Amino acid sequence: MFQSVPGQLTMIADPDRRYSWRALGSTQKGLVQIAGLTIDGREIPYEYGSEAHHDEPEVWYEIQLRAFGSTVVGQIHHGLVPVVFASAEEREAAVIVTIEATLQRNANVAFFT
């Protein structure tokens, strides 16, 4: 499970699975976030948008992954390198972990703000 990293406000990590996630910034008036998920020592850059829904008894988040594996803004402004996946299965596994991390990060931000 992803947890906050002490002293790193823009990072969460899952030490048991050796994953880490970091927020790098935003673009388009804060509507698109730039992030990187590290799996097996390789950082996968991506962009995402999220929206909190408060119309249920509990808040839930809708996220949209964009530019998964390659973000032009991340490359230009943050020096990120595009990632090529060896197979569709490898990409799918990374997407699932990315969704988990992004949702956890959004829940943490909402909790602490």
> What would the pLDDT profile of 38-96 be if each residue is shown by its tens digit?
998 999 999 999 888 888 788 888 889 999 999 888 888 888 999 999 999 999 999 99
Which residue range is the domain that position 97 belongs to?
3-112
Residues with Cβ within 8 Å of residue 5, at least 6 apart in sequence: 11, 12, 13, 20
Q: What is the pTM of this model?
A: 0.83
Query: How many CA atoms lie within 13 Å of 71's alpha carbon, on the beta-carbon side?
Result: 26
Q: How confident is the model at residue 108 (pLDDT cuts 50, 70, 90)?
A: low
Give pLDDT, residue 38: 96
Give pLDDT, residue 73: 86
Domain count, the chain: 1
DSSP 8-state symbol, 17? T
Query: Is the pLDDT assigned to residue 113 strictly greater than 50?
Result: no
Give pLDDT, residue 57: 85
Give pLDDT, residue 12: 95
Give pLDDT, residue 28: 67
Rounded CA gap, 88 and 108, in Å?
30
Mean pLDDT, rounded, for 14-39:
90
Give pLDDT, residue 97: 96
